[in-house]
Amino acid sequence: MSRIDLPGPEILGRQGLAAAAACGVDPATVAGEQSHLSPINGRDLGGVTWSDATTVDDVVTRAEAAFREWRRIPAPGRGAVIKRFGELLTEHKADLATLISIEVGKITSEALGEVQEMIDICDFAVGLSRQLYGTTSVSERPGHRLMETWHPLGVVGVISAFNFPVAVWSWNTAIALVCGDTVIWKPSEQAPLCAWASAALLDRALTESGAPANVSQVVVGGPEIGAALVDHPGVALISATGSSRMGKAVGPRVADRFGRSLLELGGNNAAIITPSADLDLALRGIVFSAAGTAGQRCTTMRRVIAHTSVAQQLTERLVEAYARLPVGNPIAPGTLVGPLVHGKAYDAMAAALAQAATDGGKTVAGGGRVLTDAAPDAFYVEPAIVTMPTQSGIVRTETFGPLLYILTYDDLEQAIALNNDVPQGLSSSIFTRDQAEAEFFVSAEGSDCGIVNVNIGTSGAEIGGAFGGEKATGGGRESGSDSWRAYMRRATNTINYSGELPLAQGVDFTV
Ligand code: UN1
């Protein structure tokens, strides 16, 4: 099912600039030579300006100067800025959602959901600004005490991806700012207006509070900007979201200068559907996680591992549901599947489908490109389902599109082995009404992922939990729980109030 009412490039360009201007962006300052395509129609929205990588050094110097002042403001005062930022995001929720749809092609509901994630993380960070606590511990020495204090880390570089063009920055920034760090953001080239608009709202909150200049900065440009941040010794932490290939390049480079990195990389997320699963629930969970956001979340469900007793029925019902998915203009009411971000994403999906067929897979739903007449430069696809005889190389590869593989299993240990036998380790889920199965899946012998769900899909995590995964997913944790620790440095303090100087481990050094 596809919808054909696609707006023209001039309309989208105008809407985008109006939404950005409403958030405080001056259209004149962002106009430039760099072409800027909307996935909705594949056409230029009107050129934007990019920074040169040579400017990064100055940007870092300004961020370092801002850090020296910002860290002196008590954390609850920093939290008050984030509280105001959350209010401004609430006020401009629709503007930002419009920009997200125009620049990356998300349907309106998911674009609004992304802004809601930003608002939620602001709430979380405000509370956190009064809870940056360390522990105290007993000392082995009389009249001594051990304690930990947490201090701001420094300049944080945030490199974000097109698929969550603003929420992932806000997870990092809201937390980093209350922790006392300053932030430099290198957004996706795909979404400069989203970035400028979000940053303008944050700037407003900072200015209103009298915060020092340059607590938050944005540098829009190509990969060389990211590389300059990665290599800059003044950037204490690089938080990067993107492909495992990107992370493999970034991690060692940051480590080489003893910087810290927080990596949020690829996923190859599966759901195990057990014999006792509520299939109605499983169906809804799978369709949202696999086809939602046109399969372009790092948490997108890419594999279903179904028990042989339910696999056929489940597959038939999925095929039926997929036939009803409205594909088309993401801004039109009722659309559930928007476009792929660009032609390369489409090529990757087509190549994966061809490879899966070579490996013995059978495409049972979708896979074809649609709306080619209405939008010849855009890339709309019907979400695909491929049944696979084995978990071949292509199934173990993350293809960033709506492509779901179905595998089967006979016993749970085999299903868990399949779940874990991929390079990535981000998200996973099990659908079961059997408590022992659910517990086994979340146990140490179960899923090896950072996110392990029961009776919900793999995507759509709340901000309150730590977000991230293992293996080729990079190991980083962002967003809620105690992820804030990544943005601070820990000092262990031994306090001696005894008047004596006993040495630890019973060492005698009397002179
Ligand atoms: C991402 O795709 O990079 O759990 C982040 C989710 C969202 C975040 C996804 N809350 O699907």
Q: What is the pLDDT of residues 18-33, one digit of tens each?
A: 999 999 999 999 999 9
Residue pair 115/194 in contact (Cβ under 8 Å)? The answer is no
Query: Would you say the CB of residue 269 lies under 6 angstroms from ligand 1?
Result: no
Q: Where are the beta strands (DSSP E) in 200-332?
A: 216-218, 235-241, 260-264, 269-273, 301-307
Query: Would you say the CB of residue 299 lies under 6 angstroms from ligand 1?
Result: yes
The pLDDT of residue 9 is above 80: no
* Average pLDDT of the segment spanning 255-274: 98
Q: What's the pLDDT score for residue 435? A: 98
Ligand 1: centre distance to CA 459 (Å): 6
Residue nearest to atom 1 of ligand 1 (CA): 298
What does the longest C-alpha to C-alpha distance in the chain come to?
Answer: 90
| Burial per residue of 485-501, b for 16 or more beta-carbon CB atoms within 10 angstroms, e otherwise | bbbbeeeeeeeeeeeee
Query: Would you say the CB of residue 307 lies under 6 angstroms from ligand 1?
Result: no
Q: What is the pLDDT of residues 352-391, one digit of tens each?
A: 999 999 999 999 999 999 999 999 999 999 999 999 999 9
Q: What's the pLDDT score for residue 7? A: 78
The residue annotated as part of the active site, out of 103, 264, 437, 478, is: 264
Query: Would you say the CB of residue 460 lies under 6 angstroms from ligand 1?
Result: yes
Query: Would you say the CB of residue 168 lies under 6 angstroms from ligand 1?
Result: yes
For residues 37 and 42, what is the distance between their CA atoms, to the nearest angstrom? 6
Q: What is the pLDDT of residues 404-457, one digit of tens each?
A: 999 999 999 999 999 999 999 999 999 999 999 999 999 999 999 999 999 999
The pLDDT of residue 462 is above 60: yes
Query: Would you say the CB of residue 461 lies under 6 angstroms from ligand 1?
Result: yes
Mark whether 264 is an active-site residue: yes
Ligand 1: centre distance to CA 503 (Å): 50
Residue pair 339/374 in contact (Cβ under 8 Å)? The answer is no
Token pair belonging to 92: 């401009």
Token pair belonging to 440: 């086994």
Q: What is the pLDDT of residues 192-241, one digit of tens each?
A: 999 999 999 999 999 999 999 999 999 999 999 999 999 999 999 999 99
Which pTM was predicted? 0.97
Ligand 1: centre distance to CA 68 (Å): 33
* Average pLDDT of the segment spanning 329-354: 97
ipTM: 0.98
Mutate to test the pocket of ligand 1, among 118, 400, 467 (most ligand atoms within 8 A of CB): 467
Residue nearest to atom 3 of ligand 1 (CA): 298
* Placement of tokens 């980093």 in the chain: 176
For residues 371 and 369, what is the distance between their CA atoms, to the nearest angstrom? 7
Q: What's the pLDDT score for residue 1? A: 53
* Placement of tokens 């629930």 in the chain: 281
Q: How confident is the model at residue 40 (pLDDT cuts 50, 70, 90)?
A: very high
Q: What's the pLDDT score for residue 3? A: 55
Q: What share of the chain is helix, strand, coil (3-state, %, to 5)?
A: 40, 20, 40
For residues 20 and 36, what is the distance between their CA atoms, to the nearest angstrom? 15
Contacts of 347 (CB under 8 A, 6+ apart): none
Ligand 1: centre distance to CA 458 (Å): 10
What separation, in Å, do the N-terminal and C-terminal C-alpha atoms of the chain show? Answer: 87
Q: Shortest CA distance to 298 belongs to which of 410, 482, 109, 164?
A: 164
Token pair belonging to 444: 């140490």
Residue pair 165/190 in contact (Cβ under 8 Å)? The answer is yes
Q: What's the pLDDT score for residue 6? A: 75
Residue pair 224/53 in contact (Cβ under 8 Å)? The answer is yes
Instruction: Indicate which atom in ligand 1 lies nearest the CA of residue 299.
Output: 11
SS3 call for 362: strand
Mutate to test the pocket of ligand 1, among 117, 297, 300 (most ligand atoms within 8 A of CB): 297
Q: What's the pLDDT score for residue 58? A: 98
Ligand 1: centre distance to CA 464 (Å): 13
Q: Shortest CA distance to 354 belongs to which of 309, 392, 302?
A: 392
Q: What is the pLDDT of residues 476-498, one digit of tens each?
A: 999 999 999 999 999 999 999 99
Q: Shortest CA distance to 468 belongs to which of 198, 279, 264?
A: 264
Q: Residue 386 half-sphere exposure, CB side, CA atoms within 13 Å?
A: 31
